[in-house]
């Protein structure tokens, strides 16, 4: 594990740090120079020799990406499917499961909109019931309430590890333990946690996990991956199949492959995948434990500093909090705050109610400002954010 890294060096390795004060790491982080260079290098190779030929030349490196993801998640390369984003990864897992009338899906209040929309669609199609477990006072899923819901009608537990709308970290490993004990498949949306904290699919107890490349992993856009536990793979038939996922063995017959690549398609963009490989190796070299500590301490400091700005209310829930910091700034609408900060060279984002509707409605929130930190941010940048916010009222 890494000792304290030289933040100045890490910032020098990130071209964007010289341009912007960047707090949109939960949207899409600034990529390291080496990631961008690898993408461009491959595009140049494709330009010179052709796309198929270029892919042949880098085949071992493309293949090594499965190993990098597996080391990141502590699983086997055969349990990884590469995807274009976390949503598609999640969907390939979810729509592989079969539901019947009277079945139940158990989830938590902070489930991401795209996932919940899929629950609703499948509920309309099949009559499956969606049960949202109560939250405890800290805002986390209440483990006792969740356990109370688990009976033989429940065919899936789906949890968002870190919501898009706050710093809360769900007690995923405890949920995983309950899922295992009850023998219920557990699908974890780790889109926001991957790359900012140490993840081990065995410790988490999840059977399926989705993640994206562009957020805390600092990879290129259009990259993501799905983990499916080996024992689970056999029970799952992908909702879509192509000639990579299956082989046409005789005129009237096909055979689906038995590793996680059955969730992939043959065609894929090689350049971003090579960039993702560089980004994952970069994170692994820094050490996910170090990244987690650094991100958490910066986010804690940001919450403390923001609380000193008159009118700002930090809105994050959870006993354990990560790099996502959300706040409101009365009387300013979130969009106005974002634009003001943008005009002053500071990148943040707004969160609308519809991205995590159940949680936002329960808390009576319409919108939030989200400032998400990464390890390359500095204390001086946090101070600047607060100064610029104060200046909004001058
Ligand atoms: C919790 C969560 N899940 C899933 C997604 C979707 O990820 P992607 O845009 O890579 O499909 C997001 C994106 O913000 C998210 O915050």
Q: Give the model confidence (pLDDT) of 126-143 as tens digits.
A: 999 999 999 999 999 999
Work out the pLDDT band at 1, boundaries 50, 70, 90.
Answer: very low
User: pLDDT per residue over 298-340, tens digit each?
Assistant: 999 999 999 999 999 999 999 999 999 999 999 999 999 999 9
Residue 4 has pLDDT above 80, yes or no: no
Residue 2 has pLDDT above 70, yes or no: no
Residue 59, CB-side half-sphere exposure with 13 Å CA sphere? 4
Q: Which atom of ligand 1 is nearest to the CA of 164?
A: 16
| Mutate which of 192, 218, 224 for ligand 1 pocket (most atoms within 8 A of beta carbon) | 192
User: pLDDT per residue over 40-92, tens digit each?
Assistant: 999 999 999 999 999 999 999 999 999 999 999 999 999 999 999 999 999 99
Q: Is the dihedral of CA 228, 234, 240, 245 positive or negative?
A: positive
350 neighbors 327 (Cβ within 8 angstroms): no
Q: Is the dihedral of CA 86, 88, 265, 201 positive or negative?
A: positive
Cα 27 to ligand 1 centre (Å): 9
- Residue 115 confidence (pLDDT): 98
Q: Which atom of ligand 1 is nearest to the CA of 212?
A: 10
pTM > 0.95? yes
User: pLDDT per residue over 263-302, tens digit each?
Assistant: 999 999 999 999 999 999 999 999 999 999 999 999 999 9
Q: Measured between alpha carbons, how far is residue 232 from residues 51, 77, 157 in Å?
A: 34, 15, 14
Distance CA 320, CA 301 (A): 14
Strands (E), the chain: 21-22, 80-83, 104-107, 129-132, 154-160, 186-189, 208-212, 224-228, 246-250, 253-256, 312-314, 324-329, 346-347, 349-352, 367-372
Residue bearing the CA closest to ligand 1, atom 12: 191
- Residue 86 confidence (pLDDT): 98
- Higher-confidence residue of 122 and 2: namely 122
Tokens of 19: 């341009």
User: pLDDT per residue over 92-111, tens digit each?
Assistant: 999 999 999 999 999 999 99
| Mutate which of 112, 217, 350 for ligand 1 pocket (most atoms within 8 A of beta carbon) | 112
167 neighbors 372 (Cβ within 8 angstroms): no
Q: Which atom of ligand 1 is nearest to the CA of 214?
A: 10
3-class SS at 332?
strand
What is the gyration radius of the CA atoms in the chain, in angstroms? 21
325 neighbors 370 (Cβ within 8 angstroms): yes
Q: Which of 381, 332, 272 is nearest to 28 (CA)?
A: 272
- Residue 3 confidence (pLDDT): 54
Distance CA 195, CA 294 (A): 12
Q: What percent of the chain has pLDDT over 70?
A: 99
Q: Which of 306, 308, 309, 296 is nearest to 382 (CA)?
A: 306
Residue 373 has pLDDT above 50, yes or no: yes
Residue bearing the CA closest to ligand 1, atom 2: 191
| Mutate which of 118, 195, 212 for ligand 1 pocket (most atoms within 8 A of beta carbon) | 212
Protein residues whose CB sits closer than 6 Å to any atom of ligand 1: 85-87, 112, 160, 163-164, 189, 191-192, 212, 224
- Mean pLDDT, rounded, for 360-377: 98
Q: What percent of the chain has pLDDT over 90?
A: 98
How many residues does this entry show for the chain?
Answer: 394
- Residue 394 confidence (pLDDT): 82
């Amino acid at each position: 594990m890494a000792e304290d890294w030289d933040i100045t060096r890490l910032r020098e390795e990130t071209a964007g740090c010289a341009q912007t004060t960047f707090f949109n790491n939960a949207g899409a982080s600034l990529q390291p120079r080496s990631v961008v260079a690898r993408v461009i290098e491959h595009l140049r190779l494709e330009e010179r020799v052709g796309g198929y030929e270029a892919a042949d030349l880098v085949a071992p490196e493309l293949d090594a990406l499965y190993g990098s993801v597996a080391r990141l998640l502590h699983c086997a390369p055969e349990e990884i499917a590469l995807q274009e984003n976390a949503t598609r990864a999640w969907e390939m897992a979810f729509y592989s499961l079969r539901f019947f009338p009277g079945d139940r899906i158990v989830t938590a209040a902070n489930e991401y909109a795209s996932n919940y929309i899929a629950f609703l669609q499948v509920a309309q199609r099949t009559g499956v019931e969606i049960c949202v477990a109560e939250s405890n006072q800290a805002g986390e899923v209440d483990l006792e309430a969740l356990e109370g819901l688990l009976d033989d009608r429940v065919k899936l537990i789906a949890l968002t590890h870190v919501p898009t709308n706050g710093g809360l970290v769900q007690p995923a490993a405890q949920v995983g333990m309950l899922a295992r004990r009850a023998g219920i498949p557990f699908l974890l949306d780790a889109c926001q946690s991957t790359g900012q904290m140490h993840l081990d699919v065995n410790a988490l107890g999840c059977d399926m996990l989705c993640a994206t490349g562009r957020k805390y992993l600092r990879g290129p856009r259009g990259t993501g991956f799905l983990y499916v536990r080996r024992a689970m793979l056999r029970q799952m038939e992908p909702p879509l199949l192509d000639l990579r996922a299956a082989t046409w063995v005789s005129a009237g017959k096909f055979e689906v492959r038995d590793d996680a690549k059955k969730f992939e398609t043959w065609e894929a963009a090689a350049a971003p995948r090579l960039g993702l490989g560089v980004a994952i190796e970069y994170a692994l070299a820094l050490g996910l434990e170090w990244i987690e500590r650094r991100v958490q301490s910066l986010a804690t400091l940001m919450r403390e500093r923001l609380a000193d700005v008159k009118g700002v209310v930090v809105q994050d829930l959870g006993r354990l909090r990560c790099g996502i910091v959300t706040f409101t700034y009365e009387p300013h609408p979130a969009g106005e705050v974002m634009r003001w900060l943008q005009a002053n060279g500071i990148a943040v984002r707004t969160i609308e109610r519809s991205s995590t509707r159940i949680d936002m409605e329960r808390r009576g929130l319409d919108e939030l400002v989200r400032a998400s930190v990464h390890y390359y941010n500095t204390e001086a940048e946090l101070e600047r954010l607060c100064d610029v916010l104060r200046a909004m009222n001058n």
